[in-house]
Structure 1
Amino acid sequence: MIAETVCSAVSVAGLGIAAVTAYRKRFLRAARIAAYSLVPIGLVMTGVVGWLADTAFSPTAWAGFVVLGGAWLLFAGTRALERRKAGTRKEAEAAPESKAVAPAASAPSLSPATKPTAARPTTKPTTEDFSDIEAILKKHGI
Protein backbone atom coordinates (compact mmCIF):
# COMPACT_ATOMS: atom_id res chain seq x y z
CA MET A 1 0.00 0.00 0.00
CA ILE A 2 2.81 2.40 0.83
CA ALA A 3 4.63 1.59 -2.43
CA GLU A 4 1.55 2.48 -4.46
CA THR A 5 1.20 5.79 -2.59
CA VAL A 6 4.84 6.69 -3.17
CA CYS A 7 4.61 5.89 -6.87
CA SER A 8 1.45 7.97 -7.21
CA ALA A 9 3.11 10.91 -5.45
CA VAL A 10 6.15 10.67 -7.73
CA SER A 11 3.89 10.67 -10.79
CA VAL A 12 1.93 13.71 -9.61
CA ALA A 13 5.15 15.59 -8.83
CA GLY A 14 6.55 14.73 -12.25
CA LEU A 15 3.41 15.93 -13.99
CA GLY A 16 3.65 19.19 -12.04
CA ILE A 17 7.25 19.67 -13.19
CA ALA A 18 6.16 18.91 -16.76
CA ALA A 19 3.44 21.57 -16.51
CA VAL A 20 5.94 24.18 -15.31
CA THR A 21 8.34 23.21 -18.11
CA ALA A 22 5.56 23.53 -20.69
CA TYR A 23 4.66 26.95 -19.26
CA ARG A 24 8.27 28.00 -20.02
CA LYS A 25 7.63 26.99 -23.67
CA ARG A 26 9.90 23.96 -23.62
CA PHE A 27 7.29 21.56 -24.93
CA LEU A 28 9.58 18.74 -26.07
CA ARG A 29 11.27 18.56 -22.67
CA ALA A 30 7.87 18.81 -20.94
CA ALA A 31 6.57 15.87 -22.98
CA ARG A 32 9.58 13.75 -21.98
CA ILE A 33 9.15 14.63 -18.30
CA ALA A 34 5.45 13.76 -18.52
CA ALA A 35 6.30 10.41 -20.12
CA TYR A 36 8.79 9.57 -17.38
CA SER A 37 6.38 10.63 -14.65
CA LEU A 38 3.60 8.38 -15.99
CA VAL A 39 5.76 5.24 -15.71
CA PRO A 40 5.39 4.77 -11.90
CA ILE A 41 1.61 5.15 -11.96
CA GLY A 42 1.46 2.73 -14.91
CA LEU A 43 3.44 0.18 -12.91
CA VAL A 44 1.03 0.60 -9.99
CA MET A 45 -1.99 0.16 -12.25
CA THR A 46 -0.61 -3.03 -13.84
CA GLY A 47 0.19 -4.57 -10.47
CA VAL A 48 3.95 -4.79 -10.94
CA VAL A 49 4.65 -2.71 -7.81
CA GLY A 50 2.46 -4.95 -5.67
CA TRP A 51 4.11 -8.04 -7.07
CA LEU A 52 7.58 -6.63 -6.36
CA ALA A 53 6.58 -5.67 -2.83
CA ASP A 54 5.15 -9.14 -2.20
CA THR A 55 8.28 -10.76 -3.63
CA ALA A 56 10.69 -8.64 -1.59
CA PHE A 57 9.07 -9.65 1.69
CA SER A 58 8.38 -13.28 0.82
CA PRO A 59 10.62 -15.97 2.38
CA THR A 60 9.69 -18.33 -0.44
CA ALA A 61 10.96 -15.88 -3.03
CA TRP A 62 14.26 -15.46 -1.17
CA ALA A 63 14.61 -19.25 -0.95
CA GLY A 64 14.10 -19.36 -4.71
CA PHE A 65 16.91 -16.84 -5.16
CA VAL A 66 19.14 -19.04 -3.00
CA VAL A 67 18.31 -22.07 -5.16
CA LEU A 68 19.10 -20.09 -8.31
CA GLY A 69 22.42 -19.01 -6.79
CA GLY A 70 23.24 -22.62 -5.97
CA ALA A 71 22.47 -23.65 -9.53
CA TRP A 72 24.74 -20.91 -10.83
CA LEU A 73 27.55 -22.07 -8.53
CA LEU A 74 27.16 -25.63 -9.85
CA PHE A 75 27.37 -24.43 -13.45
CA ALA A 76 30.42 -22.27 -12.73
CA GLY A 77 32.14 -25.01 -10.74
CA THR A 78 31.67 -27.67 -13.38
CA ARG A 79 32.93 -25.32 -16.07
CA ALA A 80 36.05 -24.51 -14.01
CA LEU A 81 36.74 -28.21 -13.48
CA GLU A 82 36.22 -28.89 -17.17
CA ARG A 83 38.74 -26.21 -18.10
CA ARG A 84 41.25 -27.49 -15.55
CA LYS A 85 40.89 -31.02 -16.93
CA ALA A 86 41.36 -29.86 -20.53
CA GLY A 87 44.72 -28.25 -19.74
CA THR A 88 46.26 -25.05 -20.88
CA ARG A 89 45.70 -23.37 -24.21
CA LYS A 90 49.22 -24.21 -25.44
CA GLU A 91 48.62 -27.88 -24.75
CA ALA A 92 45.29 -27.73 -26.59
CA GLU A 93 46.92 -26.10 -29.62
CA ALA A 94 49.65 -28.76 -29.74
CA ALA A 95 47.19 -31.63 -29.31
CA PRO A 96 45.41 -31.58 -32.71
CA GLU A 97 48.49 -32.99 -34.42
CA SER A 98 48.39 -36.10 -32.22
CA LYS A 99 44.60 -36.41 -32.44
CA ALA A 100 44.38 -36.81 -36.22
CA VAL A 101 41.43 -38.81 -37.49
CA ALA A 102 43.55 -40.80 -39.95
CA PRO A 103 47.21 -40.20 -39.12
CA ALA A 104 48.46 -42.75 -41.69
CA ALA A 105 46.43 -41.31 -44.56
CA SER A 106 48.41 -40.04 -47.51
CA ALA A 107 47.93 -36.84 -49.43
CA PRO A 108 45.36 -37.05 -52.23
CA SER A 109 46.78 -37.71 -55.67
CA LEU A 110 46.00 -35.46 -58.60
CA SER A 111 43.68 -36.85 -61.22
CA PRO A 112 44.36 -36.14 -64.92
CA ALA A 113 41.65 -33.46 -64.89
CA THR A 114 43.30 -31.51 -62.12
CA LYS A 115 46.90 -31.74 -63.35
CA PRO A 116 48.18 -28.51 -64.85
CA THR A 117 48.63 -28.73 -68.59
CA ALA A 118 50.33 -26.55 -71.16
CA ALA A 119 46.96 -25.13 -72.26
CA ARG A 120 46.42 -23.60 -68.84
CA PRO A 121 48.57 -20.59 -68.15
CA THR A 122 50.44 -20.81 -64.89
CA THR A 123 51.00 -17.77 -62.76
CA LYS A 124 54.52 -16.87 -61.80
CA PRO A 125 55.16 -16.52 -58.10
CA THR A 126 55.69 -12.94 -57.11
CA THR A 127 58.87 -12.01 -55.34
CA GLU A 128 57.66 -9.04 -53.37
CA ASP A 129 59.58 -7.82 -50.38
CA PHE A 130 57.56 -8.28 -47.21
CA SER A 131 60.25 -7.07 -44.83
CA ASP A 132 58.33 -3.92 -43.92
CA ILE A 133 55.26 -5.97 -43.05
CA GLU A 134 57.36 -8.37 -41.00
CA ALA A 135 58.88 -5.43 -39.13
CA ILE A 136 55.42 -4.09 -38.28
CA LEU A 137 54.27 -7.51 -37.07
CA LYS A 138 57.41 -7.94 -34.93
CA LYS A 139 56.89 -4.46 -33.50
CA HIS A 140 53.43 -5.49 -32.29
CA GLY A 141 54.63 -8.85 -31.03
CA ILE A 142 52.85 -10.96 -33.62
Structure 2
Amino acid sequence: MIAETVCSAVSAAGLGIAAVTAYRKRFLAAFRIAAYSLIPVGLVMTGVVGWLADTAFSPTAWIGFGLLGGAWVLLATTRAVERRRGGTRAERKAARAARSETAVAPTASAPSLGPATRPTTAPRTTGASDDFSDIEAILKKHGI
Protein backbone atom coordinates (compact mmCIF):
# COMPACT_ATOMS: atom_id res chain seq x y z
CA MET A 1 0.00 0.00 0.00
CA ILE A 2 2.80 2.39 0.91
CA ALA A 3 4.79 1.49 -2.19
CA GLU A 4 1.82 2.25 -4.44
CA THR A 5 1.31 5.62 -2.74
CA VAL A 6 4.98 6.53 -3.12
CA CYS A 7 4.96 5.57 -6.81
CA SER A 8 1.84 7.63 -7.42
CA ALA A 9 3.40 10.64 -5.69
CA VAL A 10 6.59 10.30 -7.74
CA SER A 11 4.56 10.15 -10.93
CA ALA A 12 2.50 13.20 -9.97
CA ALA A 13 5.66 15.16 -9.15
CA GLY A 14 7.23 14.10 -12.45
CA LEU A 15 4.18 15.20 -14.41
CA GLY A 16 4.28 18.54 -12.61
CA ILE A 17 7.93 19.01 -13.55
CA ALA A 18 7.07 18.05 -17.14
CA ALA A 19 4.33 20.70 -17.19
CA VAL A 20 6.74 23.38 -15.97
CA THR A 21 9.29 22.29 -18.56
CA ALA A 22 6.70 22.47 -21.32
CA TYR A 23 5.67 25.95 -20.11
CA ARG A 24 9.32 26.99 -20.68
CA LYS A 25 9.00 25.89 -24.32
CA ARG A 26 11.26 22.83 -23.91
CA PHE A 27 8.76 20.34 -25.32
CA LEU A 28 11.16 17.52 -26.11
CA ALA A 29 12.52 17.47 -22.56
CA ALA A 30 8.97 17.79 -21.19
CA PHE A 31 7.79 14.73 -23.10
CA ARG A 32 10.85 12.77 -21.93
CA ILE A 33 10.16 13.72 -18.28
CA ALA A 34 6.49 12.82 -18.67
CA ALA A 35 7.44 9.41 -20.07
CA TYR A 36 9.77 8.70 -17.15
CA SER A 37 7.17 9.88 -14.64
CA LEU A 38 4.53 7.47 -16.01
CA ILE A 39 6.76 4.42 -15.44
CA PRO A 40 6.08 4.10 -11.65
CA VAL A 41 2.29 4.20 -12.15
CA GLY A 42 2.59 1.58 -14.90
CA LEU A 43 4.60 -0.65 -12.58
CA VAL A 44 1.97 -0.28 -9.85
CA MET A 45 -0.83 -1.18 -12.26
CA THR A 46 0.96 -4.31 -13.53
CA GLY A 47 1.61 -5.57 -9.99
CA VAL A 48 5.40 -5.42 -10.20
CA VAL A 49 5.65 -2.99 -7.28
CA GLY A 50 3.57 -5.25 -5.02
CA TRP A 51 5.72 -8.24 -5.93
CA LEU A 52 8.93 -6.26 -5.30
CA ALA A 53 7.63 -4.97 -1.98
CA ASP A 54 6.73 -8.49 -0.88
CA THR A 55 10.15 -9.71 -1.95
CA ALA A 56 12.06 -6.84 -0.33
CA PHE A 57 10.52 -7.48 3.09
CA SER A 58 10.73 -11.27 2.93
CA PRO A 59 13.58 -12.91 4.91
CA THR A 60 13.27 -16.02 2.76
CA ALA A 61 13.87 -13.98 -0.38
CA TRP A 62 16.97 -12.36 1.15
CA ILE A 63 18.35 -15.74 2.19
CA GLY A 64 17.75 -16.93 -1.38
CA PHE A 65 19.61 -13.92 -2.78
CA GLY A 66 22.45 -14.63 -0.34
CA LEU A 67 22.64 -18.25 -1.48
CA LEU A 68 22.68 -17.20 -5.12
CA GLY A 69 25.50 -14.75 -4.38
CA GLY A 70 27.45 -17.42 -2.50
CA ALA A 71 27.06 -19.86 -5.38
CA TRP A 72 28.30 -17.22 -7.80
CA VAL A 73 31.36 -16.52 -5.61
CA LEU A 74 32.16 -20.24 -5.41
CA LEU A 75 31.88 -20.66 -9.17
CA ALA A 76 34.03 -17.61 -9.86
CA THR A 77 36.67 -18.79 -7.37
CA THR A 78 36.88 -22.27 -8.84
CA ARG A 79 37.19 -20.86 -12.35
CA ALA A 80 40.01 -18.55 -11.25
CA VAL A 81 41.88 -21.39 -9.53
CA GLU A 82 41.37 -23.64 -12.54
CA ARG A 83 42.83 -21.00 -14.86
CA ARG A 84 45.78 -20.46 -12.56
CA ARG A 85 46.55 -24.18 -12.40
CA GLY A 86 46.21 -24.60 -16.14
CA GLY A 87 42.96 -26.50 -16.49
CA THR A 88 41.34 -29.52 -14.95
CA ARG A 89 43.18 -32.70 -14.01
CA ALA A 90 42.02 -34.45 -17.19
CA GLU A 91 43.22 -31.53 -19.32
CA ARG A 92 46.65 -31.56 -17.63
CA LYS A 93 46.90 -35.33 -18.11
CA ALA A 94 46.05 -34.99 -21.81
CA ALA A 95 48.64 -32.22 -22.19
CA ARG A 96 51.31 -34.41 -20.56
CA ALA A 97 50.41 -37.30 -22.88
CA ALA A 98 50.65 -35.03 -25.91
CA ARG A 99 54.07 -33.78 -24.76
CA SER A 100 55.38 -37.33 -24.32
CA GLU A 101 54.13 -38.31 -27.79
CA THR A 102 56.04 -35.48 -29.41
CA ALA A 103 59.26 -36.33 -27.59
CA VAL A 104 62.14 -37.98 -29.43
CA ALA A 105 61.96 -41.76 -29.44
CA PRO A 106 64.39 -43.17 -26.84
CA THR A 107 65.42 -46.09 -29.09
CA ALA A 108 66.77 -43.88 -31.85
CA SER A 109 70.52 -43.79 -31.38
CA ALA A 110 71.81 -42.54 -34.73
CA PRO A 111 70.36 -40.23 -37.33
CA SER A 112 68.81 -42.05 -40.24
CA LEU A 113 70.28 -39.70 -42.87
CA GLY A 114 73.88 -40.50 -42.14
CA PRO A 115 76.68 -38.19 -41.06
CA ALA A 116 76.36 -34.47 -41.40
CA THR A 117 77.58 -33.02 -44.68
CA ARG A 118 77.49 -29.39 -43.64
CA PRO A 119 80.82 -27.59 -43.71
CA THR A 120 82.05 -26.37 -40.34
CA THR A 121 82.75 -22.84 -41.60
CA ALA A 122 80.28 -21.25 -43.93
CA PRO A 123 81.69 -18.88 -46.54
CA ARG A 124 80.56 -15.29 -46.10
CA THR A 125 79.09 -14.07 -49.32
CA THR A 126 77.01 -11.14 -48.11
CA GLY A 127 76.92 -8.77 -45.20
CA ALA A 128 73.50 -10.13 -44.19
CA SER A 129 75.05 -12.89 -42.07
CA ASP A 130 76.62 -10.20 -39.84
CA ASP A 131 73.12 -9.11 -38.89
CA PHE A 132 72.42 -12.54 -37.42
CA SER A 133 75.66 -12.89 -35.49
CA ASP A 134 74.06 -11.40 -32.37
CA ILE A 135 71.17 -13.80 -32.62
CA GLU A 136 73.53 -16.74 -33.11
CA ALA A 137 75.49 -15.69 -30.02
CA ILE A 138 72.33 -15.56 -27.92
CA LEU A 139 71.23 -18.97 -29.17
CA LYS A 140 74.64 -20.49 -28.45
CA LYS A 141 74.58 -18.94 -24.98
CA HIS A 142 71.32 -20.74 -24.22
CA GLY A 143 72.50 -24.01 -25.77
CA ILE A 144 70.19 -23.91 -28.77
23 and 80 in structure 1: CA distance in 2 versus 1, 3 angstrom threshold: closer
TM-score, normalising length: structure 1 = 0.58
2:23 corresponds to 1:18: no
| One-letter amino acid of the counterpart of residue 102, structure 2 | P
2:76 corresponds to 1:58: no
| One-letter amino acid of the counterpart of residue 72, structure 1 | W
TM-score, normalising length: structure 2 = 0.58
Q: By how many angstroms is 1:3 displaced?
A: 1.0
52 and 21 in structure 1: CA distance in 2 versus 1, 3 angstrom threshold: same
81 and 20 in structure 1: CA distance in 2 versus 1, 3 angstrom threshold: closer
% identical aligned pairs: 76
Q: Deviations over 1:27-77 (max 9, x none)?
A: 111111111111111111111111111111101101111211221122123
Structure 1 stretches of at least 4 aligned residues deviating more than 4 Å after TM superposition: none
Aligned positions of 1:59-78 closer than 5 A: 59-78=59-78
Determine the C-alpha separation between the residues in 2 that align with 1:11 and 1:40: 6
74 and 22 in structure 1: CA distance in 2 versus 1, 3 angstrom threshold: same
Aligned positions of 1:110-125 closer than 5 A: none
Counterpart residue number, 1:28: 28
7 and 100 in structure 1: CA distance in 2 versus 1, 3 angstrom threshold: same
Q: By how many angstroms is 1:5 displaced?
A: 0.4
Determine the C-alpha separation between the residues in 1 that align with 2:24 and 2:82: 63
SS in 2 for 1:25: coil
Q: By how many angstroms is 1:101 displaced?
A: 8.3
| One-letter amino acid of the counterpart of residue 103, structure 1 | T
Determine the C-alpha separation between the residues in 2 that align with 1:40 and 1:66: 27
Could you say what the CA RMSD is over the residues aligned between the two structures, in angstroms?
2.9
| One-letter amino acid of the counterpart of residue 37, structure 1 | S
